[in-house]
Structure 1
Amino acid sequence: MSYDYIVVGGGSSGSLLASRLAGAGSRVLVLEAGGSDNNPLISMPAGFVKLLGVEKFMWFYHSTVQSQLNGRKPVVPTGRVVGGGSSVNAMVYIRGQKADYAPWAETTKDTSWDWDSLLPIFRGMEDNNRFHDDLHGIGGPWTISDPIQICELSRKYVLAAQAIGLPFNPDFNGPVQRGAGFFQLSIKDGKRCSAATAFLQPAMKTGNIHLLTGCLVHRIIVENGRAVGVQFSRNSSLETARASGEVALCAGAIATPKLMMLTGLGPQDHLSEHGIDTLVDLPGVGQNLQDHTEVPVLAFTKPGYGYFGEDKGLRQIRNGLQYMMFKNGPVASNGVESCAFFDPDDLSKEAKIQQFCVPSVYLDPDTTDIKPTYGITINSSVARPGSKGSVRLATASAQDQPLVDTNYFDDPEDLRLSIEGLRIARRILDQEPLKSIITKEIFPGTGVDDTAALEAHAKKFVKTVYHPTGTARMGHDGDEMAVVTPDLKVRGIDGLRVADASVMPNIISGNTNSTTLVIAERAARFMIGEE
């Protein structure tokens, strides 16, 4: 098999990149390890909740033992399906703060990575159903819309947050991020608008894209210092594909560095441990792993609030019929409708915490066996975590999981901010109109107030927000830890780029999907010659 370009990974970035290359007339092979996105639960906004624990649609990367979390091994799930995370996420549209991108320009010594330069790309992708101004666009391929379904419990959270002094914010992607309000979502006509549906599927009509699913890439084929193809397994057989142009890695911040190291691109000492010949000594590969984490406050409510029981029995049938006929009701919910951004030390300042209101009991099964009932879960996520982990090889086999060291709370400030966010959540729960419907705080629990006890709670329950980034970060020529150049070329190898969240020097303040798409768009422009 021979193509102009090979895109490794058919997730968010791979879908956009392949569509742009195909639109320019190139022949593109897309290799996706997961399966098709044709499961009807994917298109239903609330359906992803049923898929988060299913291996057919998710990779489950188990962290190494975390001594700072008392020996826990948190799991980091990522998308394993066409569309990647955009097919199984909560569809939240967040772009971060303007200040998030200043370090990108500083790290690369390239102002084209600052906010003002990237904003036109964000606007150009959007087809926003409410905003059309200097910050938002219409007519783009990716539909961004107001939520169709907002339950009463989510509305009460936003009202209670205003009672502690947070302003109502009608647009978290507007001039300021601070405040409480409701997310805009990547939903079109009541259905999920993933990167696959917005970009990849329309581009398939060109006939220039060959999409193969169930393909695990084992290594990049490098000849005379140039990436010329990949070796991958499909249906238990090992195959190769070649590219006359370039190979682009879009496998995500865990799989991309793993593939690079299996190829011989990475820290020489580490590769030698596994008997892998080093093609290019790149010490930054697999380092700088950053992820958003969240710590919960869970309270039970009076019956009738939130989404408990809406997916069972007669209510499930009723809600399913309502969605099929009208594309509204509980099935049209993204499961986390409201949010607040704030600095817990000073509510008048720009946000350091993104707080999610989940109108149900929402905890990972590895942390508690509490039975679902009517309740509310408020998760506080550190917007710019200082903790950094790593991805390393466990073996030299592509079939084996890498060693993922999440390193959550390695930076004490992350733990402190998480606890302060928890305290703000409690303040919100103590305000009307929430206060009168709360029956009991379950976690951390009534009377659990001192810092040591709250630290213990945070360490027990901290979990990923599904945003791993940074493991093949970009940088300037003199930066020895930079893996890719400002135009996303892998240092020391021709014909190879990284075009996913791995290249972020620092994580943004919020959900990462839209920013990952901007990275893919820039990669496309570099490869096509538009920049």
Structure 2
Amino acid sequence: MQGEETFDFVVIGAGSSGCVLANRLSEDGKSRVALVEAGPKDSNPWIHVPIGYGKTMWNDRLNWRFHTEPEPTMGGRRIYWPRGRVLGGCSSINGLIVVRGQKEDYDGWAQNGADGWSYDDVLPYFVKLEDNARFAGDPLHGTGGPVTISSIPRKHELIEVIKASAKKLGVPETEDFNGAAQEGVGYYQLTTRNGLRVSAAKAYLSPAAGRPNLSILTETRARRVVFENGRAVGIEVSVDGEVKLLKARHGVILSAGAVQSPHLLMLSGIGPAEHLRANGIGVYIDSPGVGGNLQDHLQLRLLYRCSKPITTNDALNSLIGRLRMGLEYALFRGGPLAIGINQGGLFTRVLPESKTPDIQFHIGTLSADMAGGKVHDYSGFTLSVCQLRPESTGEIRLGSADPLDAPRITANYLATETDRRCAVEGMKFARRLAATAPFSDYVAEEKLPGPGITDDEGLLGFAREYGATIFHPVGTCRIGREDDREAVVDPRLRVRGVDGLWVVDCSVMPRLVSGNTNIPAIMIGEKAADMIREDTLNNSIGRDNAQNSINDGRTQWLGKRELQIVN
């Protein structure tokens, strides 16, 4: 060990939840906070241009670029799982879509052991995080919060005809997927401001950058949590090939995401005992639920050729179109570059037993062989459909005892009959939509699955052959009651069996929410910050320790080869 440094809190992972914690736990000006990120600063320009999602999807420097194990339920394929590896985490490379999920999601959490996480409990934090001018004055929304949420300013001809056809199929038009009811068809709201991405780093770290008590350590790899006498006292990290110890007076917070938070717990000796021993890791706490309960949204992308040259494909495949897009963005921060890939959304029910929407559409005004891939050379668009509440669960497991080895991911998609039925019925609904006027007038050809696939068996085969993640893994360190052996954290997100250790990210979700996960991850960070302050800083010992730990500012915004050892 080459040196050590002491903070009040050490937060691992500068993603959607970790950035919130770094801001909120340091805003008292006293508590000394370290935010540890394996990736670099968010200086790559493609992070900030909304359509740059297609570039960051494959960037080794900004993206962990994981793959699952061969998936038996998906034809033995290894499925690509991009995850953010940069300040802002996945919020710096995602599709920018603002969806909270359904009221019933959070009420279901509370009913099944996540006390304090009902919809009424979390709604104030969704409101708090928002700066949403479109819905100013609406009690379900907020203004003045860190995350700017914008409406798409210009209607698109393709989205308009899809809306008209969806209404004929009984789907109501909506302006707000985060309002009183989620069901509907309309335009998504996005985490953008003036045509630029608003990542968690932009929203939460940039305003806090000048605080002398906040240290942001980039290109610093967490290796394992360090324990003493039943308490987490620090984190072992590597930077420039050297191993260092970051000590934490109040504790360590894992915000590394649904893949890497359980991975770090297992590397630290907290996890299924037999699995740890099989990998040569001593068992600190036998916690069988660590890494289990993995859930994700499976994306089924139906590709179409458009009968009119109005798609983003047309603009990108034309020199004049690219110049027009570039000028519109440079001069007005507008046009396709300012929006990203998916403009329209649709939530509806396809299974008779569903009481609330069970599928979600991401409607893209472009087409490519895979999300973030090169667009096709024809006018094209995509109807991407996913089941909102999959029953199938997978797991995260150690690749080895080496902290630099990637974890093993098994998603186990389409493992239940309900999931298979929902996948097939979702695609059948997409086809009905495409066959309904006026949208049908814009459909020149279904490229995938293609007209040769006509029955349920063929559609399910297509799902197995082409289905991919829509980037929403959750559940691998789930919340639960004290008598629940599979629960990894209690409702205050404290890891069971040890003091001074929390998990704060989407891994704590008991069940996957009905929609995109970025805004829920930020909400989790906001709520957790309040709980952690209540549990530590709001007692007299915590206040005294915090006062004694005022930072002299020498370690703020630390990057690779800049880690200072403060005695």
Identify the TM-score tier after normalising by the shorter chain: over 0.9
Alpha-carbon distance in 2 for matches of 1:241, 1:369: 42
1:24 paired with 2:28, answer yes
Percent of matched pairs sharing the same residue: 39
Alpha-carbon distance in 2 for matches of 1:172, 1:365: 23
Q: Secondary structure at the match of 1:298?
A: strand
Counterpart in 1 of 2:547? none
Alignment map for 1:30-429 (pairs within 5 Å): 30-108=35-113, 110=115, 112-131=116-135, 132-311=137-316, 313-345=319-351, 350-364=356-370, 371-429=376-434
The aligned amino acid for 2:259 is I
Compute the TM-score of the two structures, normalised by the length of structure 2.
0.90
For residue 387 of structure 1, report the CA deviation from its aligned partner.
Answer: 0.5
For residue 445 of structure 1, report the CA deviation from its aligned partner.
Answer: 0.9
For residue 152 of structure 1, report the CA deviation from its aligned partner.
Answer: 2.2
The aligned amino acid for 1:191 is L
Counterpart in 1 of 2:488? 483
The aligned amino acid for 2:455 is D
Alpha-carbon distance in 1 for matches of 2:168, 2:12: 48
Q: Secondary structure at the match of 1:356?
A: strand
For residue 346 of structure 1, report the CA deviation from its aligned partner.
Answer: 5.4
Alpha-carbon distance in 1 for matches of 2:154, 2:49: 12
Q: Is contact 1:24-1:528 (8 Å) kept?
A: no
Alpha-carbon distance in 1 for matches of 2:141, 2:410: 37
Q: Is contact 1:150-1:337 (8 Å) kept?
A: no
Deviates more, 1:345-354 or 1:388-397: 345-354
Q: Give the root-mean-square deviation of aligned CA atoms.
A: 1.9
1:470 paired with 2:471, answer no
Q: Secondary structure at the match of 1:130?
A: helix
Q: Is contact 1:177-1:341 (8 Å) kept?
A: yes
The aligned amino acid for 2:123 is L
Q: Is contact 2:54-2:371 (8 Å) kept?
A: no
Counterpart of 2:504 (choices 496, 499, 502) is 499
Q: Is contact 1:165-1:347 (8 Å) kept?
A: no
Post-superposition CA distance 1:192-223 (Å, at most 9, x none):
11111111110112222111111111111111
1:3 paired with 2:46, answer no
Counterpart in 2 of 1:520? 525
For residue 349 of structure 1, report the CA deviation from its aligned partner.
Answer: 5.1
Q: Secondary structure at the match of 1:124?
A: helix
| CA spacing shift, 1:249–1:438, aligned 2, 3 Å | same
Q: Is contact 2:395-2:410 (8 Å) kept?
A: yes
Q: Is contact 1:107-1:474 (8 Å) kept?
A: no
For residue 348 of structure 1, report the CA deviation from its aligned partner.
Answer: 10
Q: Secondary structure at the match of 1:218?
A: strand
Alpha-carbon distance in 2 for matches of 1:117, 1:329: 38
Counterpart in 2 of 1:448? 453
Alpha-carbon distance in 1 for matches of 2:436, 2:401: 55
Compute the TM-score of the two structures, normalised by the length of structure 1.
0.96
Alpha-carbon distance in 2 for matches of 1:423, 1:54: 35
The aligned amino acid for 1:98 is K
For residue 373 of structure 1, report the CA deviation from its aligned partner.
Answer: 2.4
Q: Is contact 2:114-2:479 (8 Å) kept?
A: no
Q: Is contact 1:151-1:306 (8 Å) kept?
A: no
For residue 151 of structure 1, report the CA deviation from its aligned partner.
Answer: 3.0
Post-superposition CA distance 1:320-358 (Å, at most 9, x none):
222121111111112101011000145995200011111
The aligned amino acid for 1:289 is L
For residue 517 of structure 1, report the CA deviation from its aligned partner.
Answer: 1.1
For residue 369 of structure 1, report the CA deviation from its aligned partner.
Answer: 10
Counterpart in 2 of 1:15? 19
The aligned amino acid for 2:386 is S
Deviates more, 1:138-147 or 1:465-474: 138-147
Post-superposition CA distance 1:442-461 (Å, at most 9, x none):
11111411111111111111
Counterpart in 1 of 2:564? none
Q: Is contact 2:195-2:339 (8 Å) kept?
A: no
For residue 436 of structure 1, report the CA deviation from its aligned partner.
Answer: 1.6
Q: Secondary structure at the match of 2:485?
A: coil
Q: Is contact 1:295-1:461 (8 Å) kept?
A: yes
Alpha-carbon distance in 2 for matches of 1:460, 1:387: 17
Alpha-carbon distance in 1 for matches of 2:232, 2:262: 15
Alpha-carbon distance in 1 for matches of 2:154, 2:338: 6
Q: Secondary structure at the match of 2:315?
A: coil
For residue 432 of structure 1, report the CA deviation from its aligned partner.
Answer: 2.3
Deviates more, 1:295-304 or 1:4-13: 295-304
| CA spacing shift, 1:155–1:55, aligned 2, 3 Å | farther
| CA spacing shift, 1:460–1:369, aligned 2, 3 Å | farther
The aligned amino acid for 1:152 is E
| CA spacing shift, 1:372–1:31, aligned 2, 3 Å | farther
Q: Is contact 1:149-1:328 (8 Å) kept?
A: no
Counterpart in 1 of 2:550? none
For residue 257 of structure 1, report the CA deviation from its aligned partner.
Answer: 0.5
Alpha-carbon distance in 1 for matches of 2:70, 2:50: 34
Q: Is contact 2:366-2:375 (8 Å) kept?
A: no
Alpha-carbon distance in 1 for matches of 2:353, 2:324: 42
For residue 53 of structure 1, report the CA deviation from its aligned partner.
Answer: 1.5
Q: Is contact 1:298-1:361 (8 Å) kept?
A: yes
